[in-house]
C-alpha cells in the first residue's frame, strides 16, 4: 500500500505518518517512510538518532546535477536513479527512511532537471511491489501541481476541526481530481468530541475514515523529543483503523 499524507501546515501530517508507519511495521510489514517536507523531522518522530539521518536527497545538488547530465538548456528527462535508494536509506527493524526534501517548483533558473531526478526516484520507489510506502508530504497544495503523488494508491488528507484546514483539504481534493486520483480520504485529527467530527463532516462533505484524538501524551512526547509511537494507545488504535479501512478499499477496487 502506497499512501501520501497531506494537509494544511501543522495539522498533524508527520505525527499521523509516524503512527501509520510504526503500525504497519508492527504488523510485520516492510515500510518505506519518505519525508518529503522541506524542513524534515519525521526521523526524530520515528526515533532515529540525529547522526543516523541522511541529508535530504533534494539538497544533494551536485549529485542531482550529475544525474541529469545537463548540457546547456537540455537535460535527461529520464535520469538513472536505481542505485540511489541504497545510498539514502537508513533502516531500523522493518522501517526504512528516506529524507527526500522538497521538490522545488520550476521557475526562473529552473530546477526542472533536478526535479526530474527526484520525481524519477519517487516513482521508482512507488513501483516496488513488496513494500508499503508512507509519504509525509509538505504542507499545502503546491506539491500536487508537481504530480509527485499521482502514483500513490491513496491520498490521506489530515484535517482538524477548523475551517482553514478544511479549506486546504478541499483544494487538495480538487487538484487530486484533476490529476485523476480516485482514492482520497479525510482523516480527522485533534478531536475532542463528536461535535468536532460532525463539524468536519458537514464542512468538508466527507466522512473521515479515522479520527485521532487530541492527546496530551502525544503533545508531551513531542516536547520531550521521544519517539511518539511509544505513547498514545488511542493514536495507535486510530492508525490501525486507518490502515484497515484503506485495505478494505484496496480489496474492493
Ligand X SMILES: Nc1ncnc2c1ncn2[C@@H]1O[C@H](COP(=O)(O)OP(=O)(O)OP(=O)(O)O)[C@@H](O)[C@H]1O
* Residue 151 contact partner, candidates Mg ion, ligand X, none, CB within 5 to 8 A by sort of partner: none
Task: Please report the sign of the dihedral spanned by the C-alpha atoms of residue 9, residue 166, residue 178, residue 156.
Answer: positive
By beta-carbon proximity to Mg ion, the closer residue of 1 and 102 is: 102
**Is residue 35 within the footprint of ligand X (CB under 6 A)?**
no
Q: How far apart are CA 157 and CA 148, in angstroms?
A: 15
Closest CA to 187 of 139, 154, 228, 143: 154
* Residue 236 contact partner, candidates ligand X, Mg ion, none, CB within 5 to 8 A by sort of partner: none
Given 14, 115, 165, 168, the residue binding Mg ion (CB under 5 A) = 14
Given 6, 15, 68, 144, the residue binding ligand X (CB under 6 A) = 15
Q: Are strands 31-36 and 95-99 parallel, antiparallel or unpaired?
A: parallel
Given 1, 2, 12, 172, the residue binding ligand X (CB under 6 A) = 12
**Is residue 219 within the footprint of ligand X (CB under 6 A)?**
yes
By beta-carbon proximity to Mg ion, the closer residue of 40 and 161 is: 40
**Is residue 214 within the footprint of ligand X (CB under 6 A)?**
yes
Q: How far is the CB of 18 from ligand X (least distance, A)?
A: 8
Q: How far apart are CA 134 and CA 132, in angstroms?
A: 7
By beta-carbon proximity to ligand X, the closer residue of 15 and 96 is: 15
By beta-carbon proximity to Mg ion, the closer residue of 37 and 153 is: 37
**Is residue 193 within the footprint of ligand X (CB under 6 A)?**
no
Task: Using alpha carbons, list the distances in angstroms from residue 91 to 17, 96, 132.
Answer: 17, 4, 14
Q: Are strands 95-99 and 90-92 parallel, antiparallel or unpaired?
A: antiparallel
**Is residue 143 within the footprint of ligand X (CB under 6 A)?**
no
**Is residue 205 within the footprint of ligand X (CB under 6 A)?**
no
Site for Mg ion in 16-55 (CB under 5 A): 37
State the residues that interact with ligand X by CB under 6 A.
Answer: 7, 9-15, 37, 139, 189-190, 212, 214-215, 218-219, 222
State the residues that interact with Mg ion by CB under 5 A.
Answer: 13-14, 37
Amino acid at each position: 500500500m502506497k499512501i501520501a499524507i497531506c494537509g494544511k501546515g501543522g495539522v498533524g501530517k508527520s505525527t499521523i505518518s509516524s503512527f501509520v508507519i510504526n503500525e504497519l511495521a508492527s504488523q510485520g510489514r516492510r515500510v518505506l517512510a519518505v519525508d518529503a517536507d522541506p524542513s524534515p523531522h519525521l526521523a526524530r518522530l520515528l526515533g532515529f538518532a540525529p547522526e543516523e539521518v541522511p541529508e535530504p536527497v533534494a539538497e544533494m545538488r551536485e549529485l542531482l546535477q550529475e544525474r541529469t547530465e545537463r548540457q546547456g538548456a537540455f537535460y535527461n528527462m529520464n535520469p538513472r536513479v536505481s542505485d540511489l535508494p541504497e545510498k539514502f536509506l537508513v533502516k531500523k527493524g522493518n522501517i526504512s527512511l528516506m529524507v527526500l526534501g522538497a521538490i522545488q517548483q520550476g521557475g526562473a533558473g529552473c530546477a526542472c532537471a533536478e526535479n526530474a531526478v527526484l520525481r524519477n526516484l519517487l516513482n521508482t520507489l512507488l513501483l516496488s511491489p513488496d513494500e508499503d510506502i508512507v509519504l509525509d508530504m509538505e504542507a499545502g497544495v503546491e506539491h500536487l501541481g508537481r504530480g509527485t503523488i499521482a502514483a500513490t494508491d491513496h491520498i490521506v488528507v489530515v484535517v482538524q476541526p477548523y475551517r482553514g484546514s478544511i479549506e486546504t483539504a478541499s483544494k487538495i481534493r480538487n487538484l487530486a481530481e484533476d490529476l485523476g486520483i480516485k482514492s482520497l480520504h479525510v482523516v480527522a485529527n485533534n478531536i475532542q468530541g463528536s461535535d468536532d467530527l460532525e463539524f468536519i463532516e458537514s464542512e468538508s462533505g466527507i466522512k473521515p475514515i479515522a479520527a485521532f484524538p487530541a492527546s496530551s501524551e502525544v503533545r508531551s512526547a513531542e516536547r520531550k523529543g521521544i519517539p511518539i509511537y511509544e505513547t498514545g494507545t488511542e493514536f495507535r488504535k486510530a492508525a490501525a483503523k486507518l490502515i484497515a479501512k484503506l485495505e478494505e478499499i484496496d480489496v474492493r477496487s
